[in-house]
Structure 1
Amino acid sequence: MCFAGSIHAQSAVGSLFGKTGAGATVTIENTDTGTSREISAGSDGRFTASQLPPGHYKVTSGGVTREVTVAVGTGTQVAFEATGSGGATTLDAITVSGSRINPIDVSSVESTTVFSQEQIQALPVARDITNVALLAPGTVQGDTGFGNLASFGGSSVAENGYYINGFDVTNIYNFLSFADLPFDAIGSQQIKTGGYGAEYGRSLGGVINLVTKRGTNEWKGGASVYWEPSGLREHGRDVKSRVPGEISVFRSGNESETLEYNVYGGGPIIKDRLFFFGLVQGQDSSTDLYGRNTSERDTDTTPTGLVKLDWNITDNHLLEFTGIRNKTKTREKHYFSNTDYAKTHDELSDDAEYENGGDVYIGKYTGYLTDNFTLSLLAGQLKNVRDWRTTAPEGTDCPAAYDNTDGLNLNYIGCWNPNEFTPADRKFGPNTDKRKAYRADAEWLIGDHTLRFGYDTEKFTSTNAGLEYSGGVYYRYYPGNRVRVRTYQTASGKYEVQNTAYYLEDTWRATDNWLFYLGLRSESFDNKNGLGESFVKADNLIAPRLGFSWDVNGDSTFKVYGNAGRYYIPVASNTNIRGSGFEALTTSFYSYSGGWNADGSPVTLGPLLSGPSVNGSLTPPNPKTVADTELKPMYQDEFILGAQWAMDSWTVGVKGIYRKLKNGMEDYCTHAAFARWAADNGYDDFDPSTMAGCMVINPGKDVHIAMDLNNDGNLTVVKVPNEGYLNLPKERRSYNALEFTVERPKQDKLYLQGSYTFAHSKGNSEGYVNSSLEQTDAGLTQDFDHAMFEDGAFGYLPNDRRHTFKLFGTYDITSELMVSGNLLVQSGRPVSCQGYIPLEALDPDDASELEAYSASSFYCLTKDGIYADGVRELKARGSFGRTPWQYRVDMGLSYVPNWANKHLEFNASVFNVFNSHKVTERNEAGELSRTVDDDGNYFYRVNPDFLNDVNYQAPRYVRFTVRYTW
């Protein structure tokens, strides 16, 4: 169900508005919890009640009562006749089904999509919030290399925001994950694909806002079981290599089965005052993956849960608490197979358990201090463990050791694990991400103006265990009783991001038909290294928001609206780790006697012969050497113009969207440009090896960076012009779309909703991540590591889908049987060629730094044969067509027997009914390898699998569901 959302764009509340008699009293009663409050209409009869928990309400004025539903992030209109303070006219109550708000919300300048839990359960949709979000117009499935994430409005999948009960649960380590909750605990899900008020920011893509279930004055509960059997899941397709007899990707043996079960309940601890809701989710999932001569079995049986408490201290003072446990422990067993593609698990090679997730705690106070002033305060904490192996891999307590005493061969000795040469520093502890956040929001109604203002701050801390040699040391034995002893260490540390914002916004109802919105948000970002020193800091970034809403007919049946806004996104904490970390390699030579012990260590370590020599540093680099001292965070400007019409039982809409990325932020990882600048300016002693490996910059702008110009240890901040040295273009990305929507709220057995989106997403960078290379370091892709990576980079981006049709709904066959469906028809993804940068044309400094890069530029080798002479063509992004159109049909059948008084439901859902297996991704690597012959010439091997298939649509599977409610 799609409708225009209110200014509470990502909050966990909604609002009511309407018109009654001048100065009349309006009573608002939450029928779920019994709370009630009174407000007075203005001299023109208009009234607004905001910061209302989602739920069912009775609104009474002048003896007339209306029954309405308030949904998250929306304004619900309550229609009264202008009765005055005298007599009343008896009117039929408005009854709202689910969370559909009718008529159109003319109190808003935005657009959003909201689904209640009842709607989600009725549709054949996978049980995760991404797949629900993909029902909304303007969303497309992201690259599988990033997991199950959505792209909103042409943005990368790493630019979205995620909220639970108004608390930001986005993991800004790299923006590719978020704190989840048990799916059946969701009360409603709001999906925002563009433009929201100044109250919130920190995302360029879209927003997914979840509101949990809560207790009411009636004790209710239930249980549910969801089963996806492996026996009814079709096998994936293998990808056959063009090399005879080879298989590029083996999927036909893979198996997966999931069993999930929930028990939940809630009700009044104290009627009208204190309410409880709790849910426990259990699971038993297993996945078997097979390769050529290895296999893997993953299992997860970890329970998760939620607790929600609501305390109505009085009708005007409310307290909420939300607690979520989402920690999972996945058991991974790895095997060697005795036969190629055997589809069996043979010899166990590793048995490990990996921990992810953690706990979320949210507290909120809402105070209706007067009829016209509301205050809300929120505090939240999130702690997440990031893919941490709970037990050390076998052998990592043994030192790494090799025998080279014959001067020729390098032979393994000791008890260490060669697959764990540099394991994580387990003494430091698990990698974690932790957020502590606080916000205060106030709303003040002054005549025709609704003023909102507030402040929010968050401290996001990532810890990261560094790497070290197995056992902490590496021994290499040489002839003559000499042993080289090495220690290696990368930074273990704690890295902090501090984000704060202030906002002020005014919603002005200028006339009965016209509403105007003006908002202003000030963002500040501060990223710190392991010593607590700021290396990326930006204060008071101004983000204006404007909008209007025109109730054309004055009866909420025809609305024209528009908005414009600027949105900033923070810098990922992974940038702190990579950009401000350190590594050090210490080498010493000793004599030894007595050979070596069973673990590979010397029996007797003799005198020091030479060393120690240290490469690198044991302290973080100066912040001014790793980031432009005048660095500006990335932002995006957005413009939306739309209209909605209500016609009989249908609502239709059209919306135009334009987005343009500004002030891109990326890392630059070559140094020849700085060496040329130093030479041109007379710094003959400058050594580019004294610079950081990569520097965070704004592509296309001059770089302000600290350099050791005289190679004497003294740093000087200089400005290196982009033109003539780095020669980088500005980071560019634009999105243009036209969306058409249609909806029929459930009436006369039928509910239907659909959309068609015509879109262009074009530029020289996808954004925070790179789908073509599946690079997950947000803001640190290789796109701008050197100017030659940008040659040919402008074109249609990986998330560009020209046409997308979506249609879903339900139909009641009888009072007991309901059929549901979900249709997706979508055009394909652009395909490019990725090749090696031609090093022949570069000066030696550039060539030596770029030699380590894989085939990842748009210089593409197309000559037939095994080797070529190094001459290649520049093939612009998207030059090799697109993947095919894909079609997917999901269907469900529900049986709710009358004999169980509608308390019991059986459902069977089939996903990808026709087992469509269209290609969703092709191999874009045009070259396989680069070698150097004896004369120093580069030779390149063409990739025989260039443009071969890589991924297909997910195969058909079935989900059975049984639900019982009481």
Structure 2
Amino acid sequence: MKNLFTRLMLIVVMCLPVHLSWGQGTTTASMNGVLSEASGAGLAGATILAVHTPSNTQYAASADANGRYNLQNMRVGGPYTITATYVGYQEQRKENIFLALGQNLRLDFNLSQGAIGLSEVQVVAERGAVINADRTGAATNVSREQIQNLPTLNRSLQDFTRLTPQASGNSIGGANNRYNNITIDGAVNNDVFGLAGSGTPGGQAGTQPISLDAIDQIQVVLAPYDVKFGNFTGGGINAVTRSGTNNWEGSVYGFMRNEKTIGKDPVTEAKPADFQDYQTGFRIGGPVIKDKLFFFLNGEITRRSEPLLNNLGDAGSTVPRDSVEMLYNYLNTNYGYDAGSFGPLDRRTESNKIFARLDWNITDRHQLTLRHNFVDAFDDNISRFTNGFRFANNAYEFASTTNSTVAELRSRFSESISNNLIVGYSRIRDKRDTPGGLFPMIRINYSNGGTGNVDAGTERSSAFNELDQDIFEVTDNLIAFLGRHTLTLGTHNEFFSFRNLFVNNGNGYYQFNSFRDFFRTDANGNPAPRPFRIEQTYSADANNPRPAAEFDAMQLGFYVQDEISVTDNFRLTLGLRLDIPVMPDTPDRNYALEKAYFPYNGLRDLRTDETPSGQLLWAPRLGFNWDVKGDKTFQVRGGTGIFTGRVPFVWLSNQFTNNGITFNTLFRNNPPRFEPNIDKIRDLGTAGTTAEINLVTNDFKIPQTFRTNLGIDYTLPLGIIATLEGIYSKTLNDIVYQDVNLRQPTGTLVGADNRPTYPTQRGVHSGFTNTILLSNANRGYSYSLTGQLQKNFENGLNTMVAYTYGESKDLNSGTSSTARSNWQFNQIVWNPNDPELSYSRFDVRHRIIATGGYTFNYAGNFGTSIALFYEGQSGTPFTYLYRGDLNGDGNTGNDLMYVPRDRSEINIVDDKQWADLDAYISGDSYLSTRRGQYTERNGARTPWTHQVDLRLTQDFLFAAGGKNHKFQLSFDVFNVGNLINKDWGHQYFIQNSAVELVSASRNATTNIPTYTFSKPAKKVWGNTFSSRWQGQVGLRYIFQ
């Protein structure tokens, strides 16, 4: 299989055109314009020279017959000095030009006749203006200055992608965050397998994918009609890293947090437990060979240590200390197993990062960049509760190591032809390391209303849990400048290799009703623990005891585009992109499944060894930009097109192991004995004859969406830029899960709630449990409308405010990594195999953001900066449900609730419960609008949230040794409102985004439901840790 992966990868690479600029992620900027004389006529043959002042990198071109020029593959940032010359005309120079990531700056020159050698100098301070000819769709650019000055607590990309009005958390445009694409230096930086909530490598180990000090600029795009952007249906997050220049510059820094920089719990007023969190690092850049070769190096470490709460004997703990100590000694004495400490523990999170980059100006026409990013991190995962206790060796350490290398060659072969080649390789290794030797997991219940438990042994999901990812990618594009046409021919190809080892309960999982049952002895006084249940999953192949899902995949992309300057103030972009996902490997074949027929779904001949592959996914796009007045004060822009994403590969990997033949499953109540040898547990009973099957239709298509937008940018008095932007997206291909083994319903409930009910024998075929099929649906949409004002003042003040209203609906939000969970917890009323269109888990609704910053220097050597970020949002969506399995489909936690109009519509236990329920419904802003109707998936929302973050920096400057030096003291405060008033700044959450408000059951014979309601003692939402104010102190030394 690996040889096949290599051969296919090499074949594709060798078939690339010899001279095909960036594709998947932007790494550069560009410049274009017209060189003309006073009459407006173009100056054919006039010369334009752009010099990146810090590195003396030069970009030159001659104007064509109409005076047009085009400079591609330029370094982002600046400052640039741009010089236009023509024989017999006065030289003209524009200085202090800065280029934003992905920007194509339009810069015209009008030359006057005059003496050669005289020059006209203009200082224009161009810095990625909002109104520029290359903008079509919605996009947000974050500059180096914003990264340095805005508040950041986690020093993460997300701290800055939140500047995008249409974003919320990791979600962009109301889409699943798994549908985003993240690139750094043009190379994939996603968690493409799809397990990390952050969406980035190392996310499960609590680390950021790269040090923030290595980042130069960030760009977020939602609707880029440039076909070089792809592999997302949410948003594209694109960052480029810093590079060295002719100037030696660097920094040493440290940031610290502890319990003294965090507020009390706003509800209980409990003080935070002692902890320490610090980051320290350095960066340095400079020339290796002046004007030719430059380096940049960054290193950073992060250390966090915090004590576990709810230890034995702590206030509120119900865990019996004597029994815990006896259990520790019992396991050690009788089985030679050390369960680990039962005393206080610290939870540690650590990461080490190294980033290195070289930039080589080979010639004025060719530049090469080579960089490597290394991240090594781990996170101790263990928690204790007042009624739940875990020994130290029941923890696991999530370890993650990432090595990512990218090489980029930027070339200009002539005045009209340029090329950009990017080659990248990432190696990601994630593993759960478990302390102590392998031992079955033991859960012992103790007397506390049946809710208390003590866990010992190896954590059952971590004994065999590893993920290896290898990602190789090639991007190569040719750009040809032909007068008013800029043609692009390009390709972007990703090659993946995965190995996912996950055996839940692989070490065995015993459950005991009491400590007494565990400490039992036989007639001879020998240990004879009496479990009430044993579960174990083990390999069906004795020669392969730890089978893993191993498979390769590819996503090939090809595109062509014509960017047309129809007039000097109207630009049209026409492009066509083709994406081809390929899966050359297939899972094992289950012949027993092929004999089955699922009549209610009309399916037969289902095969576990079929995978979706080779689908041709076309994506035409059209974008436009109209400078209405021709003076960059009034711009209308927009476009329409199709965007193709990438599926989280964990959804496809389920098919490789959940096929009914790779694993056997032992599930037995009241097993005859306790067997500590994990390889002999299977002897306690016969493996189950049923199995869960995961399938994917062979015509499954990766996510696609149709997206269109229209934006207006207008310069108001005082230089304020007003933007109004509307975006609409229509689902073309998205996911839907079905259990094809589920029978059709055979009845309906009696009463106002008349949902269908399922028979006791739910499965069509007794040889299978759930048979979950992943296929496509095209129902779903999202839209947003954004209004934004922004202004940068010359005195150092900059401001921005934006309001977005958005709505997002889907059939399945895809929040889980497993097929069954994505089906089981997709809440419904009627048929779980035919879900209703409803609000997405990522629905934003109302969001307001604002930033403001001011910098002032004084007394010659001092500077003070203040920056603020505000975010207000209309809560997060959640669902009201019944508790229990009312419709009998075998799932709890998925039955939407019927909201009764009055007492006659609900068979509730007594009048008191009805009075409480009626009052609760009337007092709830959502439920009160749904009387006589069912609740909607994600239809309710938590209260509005408001958060203000602050960053204060104080600079102390001095000059020495021909360099400028600076000491900078910084203080970041997240949620300043809570620092001022404990009732401000509250953030809310609901576990699993669902509330089971009413308990429901039914008589299987009469189908009459019965309901009970217990009035909640408090609000159904809780306060998150982020409701507290949190501070961070930093100290930095800078020289430049």
Q: Same fold (TM over 0.5)?
A: yes
Is 1:519 aligned to residue 534 of structure 2?
no
1:615 maps to: 689
Compare 511-520 and 799-808 and name the one that shifted more.
Answer: 799-808
The aligned runs of 1:162-561 (5 Å cut-off) are 162-174=182-194, 176=197, 177-179=199-201, 180-237=209-266, 253-254=272-273, 256-291=275-310, 293=317, 297-332=346-381, 348=392, 350=394, 352-386=396-430, 388-390=431-433, 392-397=434-439, 420=458, 422-424=460-462, 426=464, 430-467=466-503, 488-489=537-538, 491-527=547-583, 528-530=585-587, 535-561=611-637
Q: In the aligned structure 2, how far is the partner of 1:52 from the partner of 1:899?
A: 33
2:663 maps to: 584
- Equivalent position SS for 2:611: strand
Deviation per residue, 1:213-265 (Å, 9 max, x gap): 111111211111112232120133458xxxxxxxxxx9865555421111110
Q: Aligned pair in 2 of structure 1 residues 379, 912: CA closer, same or farther (>3 Å)?
A: same
Following superposition, the deviation at residue 96 of structure 1 comes to: 2.9
Q: In the aligned structure 2, how far is the partner of 1:913 from the partner of 1:777?
A: 42
Following superposition, the deviation at residue 398 of structure 1 comes to: 6.2
1:243 maps to: none
Partner amino acid for 1:664? D
CA RMSD of aligned residues (A): 4.4
Compare 898-907 and 948-957 and name the one that shifted more.
Answer: 898-907
Is 1:101 aligned to residue 128 of structure 2?
yes
Deviation per residue, 1:267-322 (Å, 9 max, x gap): 11111221110001022212345356488632223321211111222121221111
Q: 2:867 aligns with which of 806, 820, 825?
A: 820
Q: Aligned pair in 2 of structure 1 residues 531, 312: CA closer, same or farther (>3 Å)?
A: farther
Following superposition, the deviation at residue 531 of structure 1 comes to: 5.9
Aligned residues: 856
Q: In the aligned structure 2, how far is the partner of 1:316 from the partner of 1:751?
A: 37
Q: In the aligned structure 1, how far is the partner of 2:974 from the partner of 2:534?
A: 58
Could you tell me whether the CA contact under 8 Å between 2:737 and 2:833 is conserved in 1? no
1:887 maps to: 946
Q: In the aligned structure 2, how far is the partner of 1:611 from the partner of 1:435?
A: 42
- Equivalent position SS for 2:147: helix
Could you tell me whether the CA contact under 8 Å between 2:140 and 2:163 is conserved in 1? no
Compare 782-791 and 327-336 and name the one that shifted more.
Answer: 782-791
2:796 maps to: 749
1:711 maps to: none
Q: In the aligned structure 1, how far is the partner of 2:581 from the partner of 2:678?
A: 49
1:957 maps to: 1030
Q: In the aligned structure 2, how far is the partner of 1:562 from the partner of 1:934?
A: 57
Could you tell me whether the CA contact under 8 Å between 1:763 and 1:796 is conserved in 2? yes
Is 1:911 aligned to residue 990 of structure 2?
no
- Equivalent position SS for 1:907: strand
Compare 628-637 and 777-786 and name the one that shifted more.
Answer: 777-786
Partner amino acid for 1:462? F
Q: Aligned pair in 2 of structure 1 residues 935, 790: CA closer, same or farther (>3 Å)?
A: closer
Following superposition, the deviation at residue 814 of structure 1 comes to: 4.1
Q: Aligned pair in 2 of structure 1 residues 942, 323: CA closer, same or farther (>3 Å)?
A: farther
1:948 maps to: 1020
Partner amino acid for 2:782? S
Q: Aligned pair in 2 of structure 1 residues 7, 745: CA closer, same or farther (>3 Å)?
A: farther
Could you tell me whether the CA contact under 8 Å between 1:259 and 1:285 is conserved in 2? yes
Q: 1:128 aligns with which of 156, 160, 170?
A: 156
Following superposition, the deviation at residue 186 of structure 1 comes to: 0.7
Q: Aligned pair in 2 of structure 1 residues 760, 301: CA closer, same or farther (>3 Å)?
A: closer
Is 1:671 aligned to residue 712 of structure 2?
no
- Equivalent position SS for 1:903: strand
2:34 maps to: 19
Could you tell me whether the CA contact under 8 Å between 1:596 and 1:602 is conserved in 2? no
Q: In the aligned structure 1, how far is the partner of 2:174 from the partner of 2:242?
A: 32
Partner amino acid for 2:235? G
Following superposition, the deviation at residue 507 of structure 1 comes to: 0.3
Following superposition, the deviation at residue 860 of structure 1 comes to: 6.4
Q: In the aligned structure 2, how far is the partner of 1:778 from the partner of 1:170?
A: 23
Following superposition, the deviation at residue 887 of structure 1 comes to: 1.9
Deviation per residue, 1:628-651 (Å, 9 max, x gap): 233333321111111212345332
- Equivalent position SS for 1:121: helix
The aligned runs of 1:40-55 (5 Å cut-off) are 40-55=62-77
Compare 936-945 and 913-922 and name the one that shifted more.
Answer: 936-945
Q: TM-score scaled to structure 1, two decimals? A: 0.79
Could you tell me whether the CA contact under 8 Å between 1:193 and 1:207 is conserved in 2? yes
Could you tell me whether the CA contact under 8 Å between 1:804 and 1:827 is conserved in 2? yes
Q: TM-score scaled to structure 2, two decimals? A: 0.74
Compare 118-127 and 502-511 and name the one that shifted more.
Answer: 118-127
2:50 maps to: 28
Q: In the aligned structure 2, how far is the partner of 1:60 from the partner of 1:539?
A: 49
Following superposition, the deviation at residue 323 of structure 1 comes to: 0.7
Partner amino acid for 1:911? F
Q: Aligned pair in 2 of structure 1 residues 108, 436: CA closer, same or farther (>3 Å)?
A: same
Compare 515-524 and 652-661 and name the one that shifted more.
Answer: 652-661
Q: Aligned pair in 2 of structure 1 residues 263, 156: CA closer, same or farther (>3 Å)?
A: same
Q: In the aligned structure 1, how far is the partner of 2:644 from the partner of 2:74?
A: 28
Q: Aligned pair in 2 of structure 1 residues 516, 688: CA closer, same or farther (>3 Å)?
A: farther
Could you tell me whether the CA contact under 8 Å between 2:881 and 2:995 is conserved in 1? yes
Q: In the aligned structure 2, how far is the partner of 1:45 from the partner of 1:516?
A: 20
Deviation per residue, 1:736-773 (Å, 9 max, x gap): x221222222411311122122x231424363327xxx
Deviation per residue, 1:418-438 (Å, 9 max, x gap): 554855564xx7322221111
Could you tell me whether the CA contact under 8 Å between 1:518 and 1:545 is conserved in 2? yes
Q: Aligned pair in 2 of structure 1 residues 692, 934: CA closer, same or farther (>3 Å)?
A: closer
Q: In the aligned structure 2, how far is the partner of 1:586 from the partner of 1:831?
A: 34
Could you tell me whether the CA contact under 8 Å between 1:505 and 1:518 is conserved in 2? yes
Percent identical pairs in the alignment equals 20
Could you tell me whether the CA contact under 8 Å between 2:881 and 2:998 is conserved in 1? no
Following superposition, the deviation at residue 883 of structure 1 comes to: 2.5
Partner amino acid for 1:115? V
- Equivalent position SS for 1:663: strand
Partner amino acid for 2:1021? D
Q: In the aligned structure 1, how far is the partner of 2:511 from the partner of 2:150?
A: 61
Q: 1:695 aligns with which of 770, 773, 778?
A: 773
Is 1:73 aligned to residue 102 of structure 2?
yes
Following superposition, the deviation at residue 809 of structure 1 comes to: 2.1
Q: In the aligned structure 2, how far is the partner of 1:744 from the partner of 1:656?
A: 21
Following superposition, the deviation at residue 10 of structure 1 comes to: 3.2
Q: In the aligned structure 1, how far is the partner of 2:628 from the partner of 2:506?
A: 71
Q: In the aligned structure 2, how far is the partner of 1:114 from the partner of 1:199?
A: 18
- Equivalent position SS for 1:104: coil
Deviation per residue, 1:821-855 (Å, 9 max, x gap): 22223323344312258645xxxxxx3xx224334
Q: In the aligned structure 1, how far is the partner of 2:819 from the partner of 2:772?
A: 16
2:989 maps to: 921
Q: In the aligned structure 2, how far is the partner of 1:71 from the partner of 1:521?
A: 25
Could you tell me whether the CA contact under 8 Å between 2:812 and 2:840 is conserved in 1? yes
- The unaligned stretches of length 5 or more in structure 1 are 1-5, 142-149, 240-249, 403-415, 677-684, 700-729, 841-846
Q: Aligned pair in 2 of structure 1 residues 479, 330: CA closer, same or farther (>3 Å)?
A: closer
1:715 maps to: none
Q: Aligned pair in 2 of structure 1 residues 163, 780: CA closer, same or farther (>3 Å)?
A: farther
